[in-house]
């Protein structure tokens, strides 16, 4: 079941979530936390995550590299001013 949390519901729920934040996936009454852990779990149970440790490492490396790119883009997007954006762009 897909449950979406409304902003006004969050304060009352926060203390009941792992690490006090979202996302969270509940499976068979167990709470799973952290985006990458949830993604890896979903890939494993669906048969999309490699069983071979070296292949799994290559997948994890690609995901980590992508997260690095996204982090830089978000830093640029939310930079406080144009000068800060230009400095991030140069990186």
What is the number of helices (H) and of strands (E) in the chain?
4, 2
- pTM surpassing 0.85? no
Tokens 């640029």 correspond to 76
In this prediction, residue 36 carries a pLDDT of 93
C-alpha angle with apex 81: 21 to 64, nearest 5 degrees? 45
d(Cα 79, Cα 88) in Å, to the nearest integer?
A: 8
pLDDT value of residue 1 = 85
Name 27's bridge partners. Answer: 30
pLDDT digits (tens), the chain, 91 positions:
888 999 999 999 999 999 999 999 999 999 999 999 999 999 999 999 999 999 999 999 999 999 999 998 898 889 888 888 887 777 6
Per the CB < 8 A criterion, the answer to whether 33 and 24 are in contact is yes
């Amino acid at each position: 079941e897909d449950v979406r949390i409304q902003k006004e519901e969050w304060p009352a729920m926060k203390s009941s979530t792992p690490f006090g934040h979202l996302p969270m996936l509940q499976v068979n009454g167990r709470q799973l936390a952290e985006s990458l852990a949830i993604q890896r779990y979903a890939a494993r149970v669906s048969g999309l995550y490699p069983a071979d440790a070296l292949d799994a490492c290559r997948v994890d490396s690609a995901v980590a590299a992508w997260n690095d790119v996204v982090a830089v883009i978000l830093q640029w997007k939310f930079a406080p001013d144009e000068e800060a954006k230009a400095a991030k762009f140069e990186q």
